């Protein structure tokens, strides 16, 4: 019960990592304020949280809309009176084109959701987090560790998010708020499974063949699952990480050595 009676605001709730974070936080004793654009996803995850004996408040939220961001935080405070941890998990997939050919409008759209909207939501939460002496966790990406072709826009967004998190740690540390980033690599969930199946069909091999090819480049020889990343979120939100701030913790099975 590392998060017993804590209140966690979680953006980007979905069937993969968002769901895993909500469930693991609830299992650790937290109540959740869940934010996503799709109500059906929110309700599914809220039921899983309730089954663990914790409360889950659903707030349909488009993080790019100011009124939605404000309502999310207002609802959290109205329902629970506090916010102990904000988990910035929302993500919009950017265009996957070479930087020499990418349309700047696509870059701008990626930054609006992945960086600027996240910044604004965090600003809304900050007074409550200071009062609670809480923490902020950004879900980044291992894309910051490489420069593979077509990943440029993605890397720009996640690198900017990391820079923001590190600067925010210096600002909020004196006020008792910790700020950290998690950088996962491949996450073995439904979306990636479908992508591996697609890659396999294009090459005339199976999805398992693709999996084995990718995992052979990873020290643990396997891809990381959502629950394993969610466990790190729980750790960083807990008192066990009370001396950790301004850090980026790689969760990639040893694919990259930072």
The rounded distance, in Å, linking the Cα atoms of 148 and 31 is 39
In a domain, 218, yes or no: yes
What is the structure's pLDDT at 251?
97
Does the pLDDT at position 72 exceed 90? yes
How many angstroms separate the most distant Cα atoms in the chain? 56
Tell me: do 47 and 172 sit in the same domain. Answer: yes
Nearest to 223 by CA among 194, 191, 258, 252: 252
Does the pLDDT at position 122 exceed 90? yes
Tell me: do 129 and 231 sit in the same domain. Answer: yes
| Residues whose CB is less than 8 angstroms from the CB of residue 198 and which lie 6 or more positions away in sequence, other chains included | none
What is the structure's pLDDT at 110?
87
Residue 95 pLDDT grade (very low, low, confident, very high; cuts 50, 70, 90): confident
Does the pLDDT at position 93 exceed 80? no
In this structure, what is the dihedral angle of CA atoms 154, 156, 161, 167, given to the nearest 10 degrees? 160
The catalytic residue among 154, 164, 186, 211 is 154
Tell me: do 137 and 195 sit in the same domain. Answer: no
Size of the chain in residues: 258
What is the structure's pLDDT at 31?
98
In a domain, 258, yes or no: no
* Strand ranges, E, within 140-192: 178-184
What is the structure's pLDDT at 106?
87
How many other C-beta atoms are found inside a 10 Å radius of the C-beta of residue 167?
12
Tell me: do 153 and 210 sit in the same domain. Answer: no
Q: What percent of the chain has pLDDT over 90?
A: 87
Structure tokens at 147: 């420069």
Tell me: do 138 and 219 sit in the same domain. Answer: no
Q: Are 208 and 243 in contact (CB under 8 A)?
A: no
Tell me: do 52 and 119 sit in the same domain. Answer: yes
The rounded distance, in Å, linking the Cα atoms of 212 and 71 is 45
In a domain, 2, yes or no: no
What is the structure's pLDDT at 185?
94
> For 28-68, how does the pLDDT look when each residue is reduced to its tens digit (9 = 90+)?
999 999 999 999 999 999 999 999 999 999 999 999 999 99
> For 230-255, how does the pLDDT look when each residue is reduced to its tens digit (9 = 90+)?
999 999 999 999 999 999 999 999 99
Tell me: do 169 and 84 sit in the same domain. Answer: yes
What is the structure's pLDDT at 237?
98
Residue 154 catalytic? yes
> For 132-165, how does the pLDDT look when each residue is reduced to its tens digit (9 = 90+)?
999 999 999 999 999 998 888 999 999 999 999 9
Q: Which domain holds residue 169?
A: 7-187+224-251
Residue 83 pLDDT grade (very low, low, confident, very high; cuts 50, 70, 90): very high
| Number of structural domains found in the chain | 2
Q: Is 1 exposed, middle or buried (0-12, 13-18, 19+ CB in 10 A)?
A: exposed
How many other C-beta atoms are found inside a 10 Å radius of the C-beta of residue 65?
13
């Amino acid at each position: 019960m590392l998060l017993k009676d804590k209140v966690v605001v979680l953006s980007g709730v979905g069937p993969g990592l968002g769901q895993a974070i909500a469930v693991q936080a609830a299992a650790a004793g937290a109540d959740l304020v869940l934010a996503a654009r799709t109500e059906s996803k929110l309700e599914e995850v809220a039921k899983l949280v309730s089954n663990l004996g914790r409360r889950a408040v659903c707030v349909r939220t488009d993080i790019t809309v100011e009124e939605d961001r404000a309502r999310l935080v207002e609802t959290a405070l109205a329902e629970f009176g506090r916010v102990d941890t904000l988990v910035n998990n929302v993500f919009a997939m950017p265009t996957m084109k070479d930087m020499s050919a990418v349309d700047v409008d696509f870059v701008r759209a990626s930054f609006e959701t992945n960086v600027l909207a996240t910044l604004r939501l965090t600003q809304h939460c900050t007074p409550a987090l200071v009062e609670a002496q809480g923490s902020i966790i950004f879900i980044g990406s291992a894309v910051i560790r490489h420069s593979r072709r077509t990943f440029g826009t993605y890397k720009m967004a996640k690198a900017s998010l990391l820079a923001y998190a590190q600067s925010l740690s210096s600002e909020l540390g004196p006020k008792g708020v910790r700020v950290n980033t998690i950088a996962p690599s491949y996450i073995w969930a439904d979306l990636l499974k479908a992508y591996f199946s697609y890659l396999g069909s294009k090459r005339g091999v199976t999805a398992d063949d693709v999996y084995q090819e990718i995992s052979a480049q990873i020290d643990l020889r396997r891809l990381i699952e959502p629950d394993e990343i969610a466990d790190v979120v729980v750790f960083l939100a807990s008192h066990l990480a009370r001396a950790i701030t301004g850090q980026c913790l790689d969760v990639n099975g040893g694919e990259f050595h930072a």
